[in-house]
Structure 1
Amino acid sequence: MLSSSAHSTVDARPEIASSWMRSQLSGLDSDTTPRLDRIDVSSDGCLRRAAAPVLDRICREFDGAPLVFVLADHDARILDIRHASPAVRDAVAWMGIEPGIRLAEDEVGTNAVGTVLEARQPLLVHGPEHFMSAFHEFSCFGQPIIHPITRRLEGVLDVGGGAGEDHRYFAPIAQRLVGEIEDRLALSTPVAQRNLLAAFHSAARRKERPVMVLGEGMVLATPAALDLLDPADHAAVRAGADTAHTTAVTNRLTLESGREVEFTCTPVDGGNGVLVDFAMARTSPKPQPRPSVEEWPLLVVGETGTGRTTEAVRAAGPGGAIVDAADVVHTGEQAWAVGLGRQLEQDGAVVIIENVHFLTDSMATLVARLIRGTRRHVVLTSTSANDDAGIHPSLVGLCAARRELAPLRRRRHEIPGLARRMLAEEAVTSDLRLTPATLQVLAAHPWPGNLAEIRRVIHALARTRSAGDIIPTDLPAPYREVGTPLSPIRHAEREVIVAAIEAAGGNKLKAAQSLGVSRSTLYNRLRVLKIA
């Protein structure tokens, strides 16, 4: 028999000896009275709800037996205690064991709750195997409770009794009860999570396949996916998954490791989440070719800050001349038109006419005539090609080709990489780093100003910090917080409403009519979806 005053590893089982060592390293004294600090615990948690009927039944089944059943959560906090006999109830109460007490190994030493959580495996602690002598009169068997859907460790069920009792039947009782509790946890899990789990298991039949499932409050990943991704990559993957509203979307991504991957995000039917399947990219993405002879004039369309000028210059090639329609306000229509006419009369490189959506109808008609009469190639840029809010139909019909630049909110998976590259360009040293949490916050922001807006934010960060990790609280105040992410369906609904309002020129009554809903319904959806 082991001494109650000093613990020796002689003849002790390895798991008990390891626990004693951890207890001693925590600074515990085996002969002192354990400190049992109590806090109130919720009576409505999912684990307690799932276990309550099971504990009710087992107490009736073992009525009068010298047994105690202790339910604890993942933090070793006791949620419920049931006794099958008054004698055991009195002994446990005398010890001060009650709901709200924490039986963590670093607080009370080796026991069948805290040690089970530490080792994540079932364990019998018999009499003097408890680290503290105050518990030597009890023998207990702890069985971990694993959520069958999320595979998270939810807590422990401890079946115990006096040290002199036959403890051999503790284990089968605990295992049977935990099986029933886990079944009830599965039944109480929302249908959406069960659908996500089914999709994950179906996709992960081959262990070497890198796949993930992303849902509300739920992330599942195969070992291959965890090995593939660095923490900073997760923000880009989650942002890419947000684009899979109703159909599968494939994105290309350069990982922190430098590897190129393609990941396909497929909405899970009835799961309110996305299945992400990774594959190594076979070839490098091809650069956007210059337009052929048949593709001039070229129209480049994109929201403010999406890089219209950069794309226009890339398409035009070296030596291109830029004329900005926004200058009409300063120079006057006549002077501006004369200057453009002179450019187009001369031979030379491509002429880029920016911001043609600012032109009046008469000026747009004049520019169209000048373009038709020139031998030079022309690129036009505009924020929109919509007749109501964009450029004049005469210019739209004149263009032989169009390039649409997607806003950042529709390619969120690129934001982490863009932010890191911008920081490398702006930072004075290489010691400045965006943490994964910060990248996730940046990826979730809508960025109405697109590339120009995120560039300003990164520039501000590089000016205020010279080294170390940039955490979310380092961001400018308007960019620090991110609301609850929308589900794919809600995200799609938001995009449709925003597009309808833009097409209606901001007129919400007209937008409601185009959507086939009342104005009050539209305003309700604007509030729910947080559309300004």
Structure 2
Amino acid sequence: MHSTSQKPNAGQVRPDIESSWARSRLSGLCEDDKPSLARGPVARDGGLARAAGPVLAQARAELADTAMTLVLADREARLLSLHSADRSMRDAIDGMGITPGAGLGEDRVGTNAVGTPLETREPLMLRSHEHFMEAFRRFDCYGHPVVHPITRRLEGVLNLGGIRGDEHGLVPPFVRRMVRDIEERLLLDATRHQQRLLAAFQEASHNPRRRVLVVGHGLVLATPPALSLLEPADHAAVQACVEGTRAKGGATHRLPLLSGRTVTLRCTPVEGADGVLVDIVPEEAGSSRASGKRAALGWPLLVVGEPGSGRTTEARQAAGRDASTLDAMDVLRQGEPDWITGMTELLAGEGPPLIVENIQLLSEPVTALLATRLRHTRRRTALTSTPGEHLDKAHASLVALCNARRDLIPLRRRPYEVPRLAERMLADLGAPGRPRLTADSLRVLAMQPWPGNLAELRRVIQTVAGARTAGDIVPADLPASHRDAPAPASPFRQAEREVIVAAIEAAGGNKLQAARALGVSRSTLYNRMRALRIS
């Protein structure tokens, strides 16, 4: 086995490799780290594996007398398959833990010919000394992204490599040919899927009154009654619902339309195809659910939601326009004695409803005093708070007093509402040229994670409206931070994100405490936060 090479000086490094090294360091990695090849589930029978199977079989026969290693990884940089006919090469790879299911993401092992092409969407010939981690510097590798020819979605990476110093001049054209063959088979597979989607649509549309859509990658079919019911923003909202259905095996959603009507979406995956059939059922105007009337309120009312989720708006809608406001944030400015005096005066007599904002900021003594005053006040009172363990501990006495509670769902959990909200926010700005968001822009907005919830969405719309005062707002007009449509997150990644966000909130924003609570290192927590776009 060859000895590892020395890392070159900065002036000898290609710009794309230097950028990758910088990203590796930002992920908390060190050159002499032992590779962290965590294993995860892979779709061995997914579209990429099906399309690549015959191509890989042919390539294995062609590589039978070489010491080359052929690797196929999915879009998460997890290895789907790995082949090497050379025993010494297999032993070296196995010794490093490189086996099917292992993750080679750039944020886990630094610059490499799987994770880096996924990061840049560009093919990469990586010489041994250009790997970030010392452990990989015995190999020369070439990685080429596999892109779906219809959806342009990044499906994975095909990688071919060998021991440093061997002659690998023909590797790039060989891999490019294989990638082209895989993409052609993906196209054929997509065509079969589209035929199944078309058959499902034709069967569902026999009833001319049925409002139905079929949504798949690169294909949307709709009956005339469905088209007449939906506006562009509604189409983006429906597609957001569909993305969450594919992983669940079917779902039902209740969706308010831009017209003011409310419909029920009955989403059913189409058998044998990557698509969903959506039945749209309008609610009757006189039904109790469609009436929009709120249930009778109990007082005090507790409104719980993440920052930016609309806690104040919800509390004001319940309490009325004449409600007074008392904000716990003012304790820092006024001091506890003055704040307590003002709170006592407001709750002592009768008057309009009172909203007490941000109770999560109150100390336990002030919380106990506020709870005492609430027991005896005649004023209707609404409290607002962030979610977290404090509601069961430090502020449990206030929670127990509330006869009604509303938990606001984060915007990331209701992407189907984003198009309607974005359209409404843009209209409220009253731009003289009446700009409009295109369906593509609404779809991109619906797929963002929105850690800042409604407040973040409002800032984005204000930015867009300031830059374009007339005409169509296309995805390129969106801020760079919100311009790309990320791949739909898996249920596992969505759950992982929720767990991390909850841990950070419970730790009061302290990342080190959150990492300890989760049982991981701080660098691992930061890596996952970056991967899951947690700000």
Q: TM-score range by the shorter chain?
A: 0.5 to 0.7
In structure 2, the partner of 1:481 is 484
- 8 Å Cα contact 2:51/2:186 also seen in 1: no
- 8 Å Cα contact 2:213/2:223 also seen in 1: no
Equivalent position to 1:276, from 272, 275, 278: 278
Q: CA 1:46–1:380 in 2, change beyond 3 Å: closer, same or farther?
A: closer
In structure 2, the partner of 1:454 is 457
In structure 1, the partner of 2:311 is 308
Q: CA deviation at 1:331?
A: 0.5
Spell out, residue by residue over 1:464-516, the C-alpha distance to the aligned partner (whole angstroms, 9 max, x if none).
32211112222222122222223456545544554455456667898789889
| Structural mapping, 1:2-401, within 5 Å | 189=189, 193=193, 197=197, 200=200, 204=204, 206-208=206-208, 209-215=210-216, 217-224=217-224, 225-226=226-227, 228-244=229-245, 246=248, 248-255=251-258, 260-266=262-268, 274-283=276-285, 285-289=290-294, 291-292=296-297, 295-387=298-390, 392-401=395-404
Spell out, residue by residue over 1:335-391, the C-alpha distance to the aligned partner (whole angstroms, 9 max, x if none).
001111011111112111111111011111111111112122211001115327986
Whole-angstrom distance in 2 between the partners of 1:266 and 1:427 = 39
Q: CA deviation at 1:266?
A: 4.5
Q: CA RMSD in A?
A: 4.2
Whole-angstrom distance in 1 between the partners of 2:493 and 2:193 = 17
Q: CA deviation at 1:227?
A: 5.4
Q: What letter is aligned with 2:239?
A: R
SS of equivalent residue, structure 2 residue 389: coil
Q: CA deviation at 1:237?
A: 1.1
SS of equivalent residue, structure 2 residue 329: helix
Q: CA 1:430–1:513 in 2, change beyond 3 Å: closer, same or farther?
A: same
Q: How many residues of Structure 1 are paired with residues of Structure 2 in the alignment? A: 352
SS of equivalent residue, structure 2 residue 341: helix
- 8 Å Cα contact 1:424/1:430 also seen in 2: no
Percent identity of equivalent pairs: 48
Whole-angstrom distance in 1 between the partners of 2:522 and 2:271 = 31
- 8 Å Cα contact 2:197/2:270 also seen in 1: no
Whole-angstrom distance in 1 between the partners of 2:277 and 2:505 = 32
Q: What letter is aligned with 1:239?
A: A
Q: CA 1:362–1:234 in 2, change beyond 3 Å: closer, same or farther?
A: same
Q: CA deviation at 1:439?
A: 1.3
Q: What letter is aligned with 1:263?
A: L
Q: CA 1:452–1:509 in 2, change beyond 3 Å: closer, same or farther?
A: closer
Whole-angstrom distance in 2 between the partners of 1:500 and 1:265 = 33
Which runs of 5 or more residues in structure 1 are unaligned? 1-44, 54-149, 151-183
Whole-angstrom distance in 2 between the partners of 1:479 and 1:490 = 20
TM value normalised by structure 2: 0.56
In structure 2, the partner of 1:118 is none
* Higher deviation after alignment, 320-329 or 226-235: 226-235
Whole-angstrom distance in 2 between the partners of 1:198 and 1:454 = 36
SS of equivalent residue, structure 2 residue 432: coil
- 8 Å Cα contact 2:324/2:352 also seen in 1: yes
- 8 Å Cα contact 1:264/1:276 also seen in 2: yes
Q: CA deviation at 1:461?
A: 2.3
Q: CA 1:527–1:203 in 2, change beyond 3 Å: closer, same or farther?
A: farther
Q: CA 1:228–1:489 in 2, change beyond 3 Å: closer, same or farther?
A: farther
Spell out, residue by residue over 1:247-295, the C-alpha distance to the aligned partner (whole angstroms, 9 max, x if none).
6231223256x76533233466886654422112312733353644xx2
Whole-angstrom distance in 1 between the partners of 2:522 and 2:196 = 36
Whole-angstrom distance in 2 between the partners of 1:411 and 1:372 = 36
SS of equivalent residue, structure 1 residue 221: strand
Q: What letter is aligned with 1:248?
A: A
Q: CA deviation at 1:432?
A: 1.3
Whole-angstrom distance in 1 between the partners of 2:244 and 2:227 = 22
Q: CA deviation at 1:234?
A: 2.1
- 8 Å Cα contact 1:248/1:266 also seen in 2: yes
Q: CA 1:453–1:206 in 2, change beyond 3 Å: closer, same or farther?
A: same
- 8 Å Cα contact 1:261/1:278 also seen in 2: yes
Whole-angstrom distance in 1 between the partners of 2:195 and 2:403 = 47
Whole-angstrom distance in 2 between the partners of 1:440 and 1:470 = 12
Whole-angstrom distance in 1 between the partners of 2:285 and 2:477 = 38
Whole-angstrom distance in 2 between the partners of 1:493 and 1:221 = 34
TM value normalised by structure 1: 0.56
Whole-angstrom distance in 2 between the partners of 1:348 and 1:290 = 23
Whole-angstrom distance in 2 between the partners of 1:226 and 1:289 = 31
* Higher deviation after alignment, 393-402 or 430-439: 430-439
Q: What letter is aligned with 1:402?
A: R
| Structural mapping, 1:482-521, within 5 Å | 482-487=485-490, 490-492=493-495, 494-496=497-499, 498-499=501-502, 502-503=505-506
Whole-angstrom distance in 2 between the partners of 1:486 and 1:399 = 36
Whole-angstrom distance in 2 between the partners of 1:468 and 1:485 = 29
Whole-angstrom distance in 1 between the partners of 2:459 and 2:186 = 48
- 8 Å Cα contact 1:385/1:391 also seen in 2: no
Q: CA deviation at 1:235?
A: 1.3
In structure 1, the partner of 2:408 is 405
Q: CA deviation at 1:301?
A: 0.8
Which runs of 5 or more residues in structure 2 are unaligned? 1-49, 59-149, 151-183
SS of equivalent residue, structure 1 residue 387: helix
Whole-angstrom distance in 2 between the partners of 1:206 and 1:273 = 19
- 8 Å Cα contact 2:194/2:219 also seen in 1: no
Spell out, residue by residue over 1:134-178, the C-alpha distance to the aligned partner (whole angstroms, 9 max, x if none).
xxxxxxxxxxxxxxxx9xxxxxxxxxxxxxxxxxxxxxxxxxxxx
Q: CA 1:192–1:296 in 2, change beyond 3 Å: closer, same or farther?
A: farther
